[in-house]
Each structure stands twice: as structure tokens, then as C-alpha cells.
Amino acid sequence: NAGVTQTPKFRILKIGQSMTLQCTQDMNHNYMYWYRQDPGMGLKLIYYSVGAGITDKGEVPNGYNVSRSTTEDFPLRLELAAPSQTSVYFCASSRGTGPSREQYFGPGTRLTVT
Amino acid sequence: TQLLEQSPQFLSIQEGENLTVYCNSSSVFSSLQWYRQEPGEGPVLLVTVVTGGEVKKLKRLTFQFGDARKDSSLHITAAQPGDTGLYLCAGTAPDSWGKLQFGAGTQVVVTP
């Protein structure tokens, strides 16, 4: 199993451009998440999904959109990129409910907006 | 949002020394997880603690969940260079269906 894969690994965007960060998991997990990680700030939840067709906002959703048409894929869309969106983005998935379920993370996408 | 504060932010020690990382909050968590993250990679789960007062050991790592489920600690005995990394605590608040709230992390550097 590949686990959680993310593409691209690195990307530089100009202000106002748009892009989609791809995330795929092959563990048949229902739950998927997008986080951003800024230096010294830990991980902040952007959006999450509890299954295909169901998504909801996390802590920092502004400037982002998501969709979940299949169990495997959870792309994150950036519209009108801004310098404040420069960050490392992580996608994660988990199996199900319960307080102790483990989240499996992808390797991240490092995005710079200039 | 329930805040998790980690201390210290940075820790540099020699191989063979012991270290403790703390994760504190004023709020109660249903469970608390510890992750380790290495440069260029995503976090990897080390342990989950669920019961107040719970202590779990993973080889040289000892994890403790506070009695009131508001704090946790990670203790590493006889640290090795392979323990170098960013240690993150993450809590699940009651009635949050399991969404994780992460602390800012503690960067640990163990030099030979």
C-alpha cells in the first residue's frame, strides 16, 4: 500500500493564480483531512470529510475549497492565491470514529506564493 | 478551539541524556496523541492516551496523560540521535467527533 500520496511536492504560485493540491489514499479510509503547517504554529485544520460527498470546514477554511467525489481522493483547491497561503500542506486520512483513531499523513506539499 | 501549549519550543541535548516535553491545556480532552515529524515528511503517530492518569511506554519513550485529562508529557530516556525530530501533541475535544487540535510542537535535537 502507498498510504497517503500528495502531489505536487513543491509549487511556486504568483499572487492571484489558482491551483489544486491532489491527495489520494489507498487504505479505504472514510475520513480525510487537509492541514496547513506554518513555522512554529503546529498544524491547522482547513477542511475535512467524513465520506464521499460530505465535507465541512475546519479552523482556517478561508481561501480554500474541497470536494470528495470518491473515497480515495480529496483535492484541495486554492483560488486567487495570496502570500498568506504560503505554507506546507498535509493531507491525512483515518479509518473511522472513536477518540483513539490514528491519522495517517501524506508527505506534504510545500507551496510558496509570491 | 481548545488550545494546546507545548514546552519547551526547542530542546538540544547530548546523546544519553534524558528529556521531557510537556503539553498543557486549560480544557479537557477525550484523548491525546503524540506524533513525531521528521524534515520533509508528515507526522507519524507514536501513541494515543485515553484514560486520565494513563502511562504508556514505547521502548525508551514514556507518555503520561494527566489525571484531569488536560495535560500530557513525553519523557525520553537515554536519548539517541535517531530521536531527533519535531514532537507534536494533538488532542481530541469532547463532542468534536474526533477532530484533532495540534500543539505548536517541540523541536528536539540529539547530538552524538
pLDDT at A42: 87
> Mean pLDDT for chain A?
93
Q: Is A44–B102 a contact, with Cβ atoms under 8 angstroms apart?
A: yes
pLDDT, one tens digit per residue, over B44-103 is: 999 999 999 999 999 999 999 999 999 999 999 999 999 999 999 999 888 777 788 999
What does the domain layout of chain B look like in residue ranges?
5-111
B28–chain A nearest CA distance, Å: 13
Nearest Cα neighbor of B92 from B62, B108, B72 is B72
Q: How confident is the model at residue A82 (pLDDT cuts 50, 70, 90)?
A: very high
Residue B39 at interface with chain A, using a CB cutoff of 8 Å: no
Q: Does residue A25 register a pLDDT over 70?
A: yes
Q: How confident is the model at residue A39 (pLDDT cuts 50, 70, 90)?
A: confident
Dihedral sign for Cα atoms in the order A38, A40, A43, A44: negative
Nearest CA in chain A to B96: A99
Mean pLDDT along residues A25-29: 95
Domains in chain A and their CATH numbers? 4-113 (2.60.40.10)
Task: State in words which class domain B5-111 has.
Answer: mainly beta
B20–chain A nearest CA distance, Å: 19
pLDDT, one tens digit per residue, over A49-76 is: 999 999 999 999 999 999 999 999 999 9
Q: Does residue B110 register a pLDDT over 80?
A: yes
Residue B97 at interface with chain A, using a CB cutoff of 8 Å: yes
Cβ(A15)–Cβ(A8) below 8 Å? no
Q: How confident is the model at residue A97 (pLDDT cuts 50, 70, 90)?
A: low
Nearest Cα neighbor of A48 from B29, B101, B6 is B101
- What is the CA B92 to chain-centroid distance, rounded? 14
Mean pLDDT along residues B10-21: 97
Residue B98 at interface with chain A, using a CB cutoff of 8 Å: yes
Dihedral of CA atoms B67, B3, A66, B37 in degrees, nearest 10, equals -70
Q: With pLDDT > 70 as the criterion, what percentage of chain A qualifies? A: 96
Which chain A residues are closer than 8 Å to B100 by Cβ? 43, 45, 103
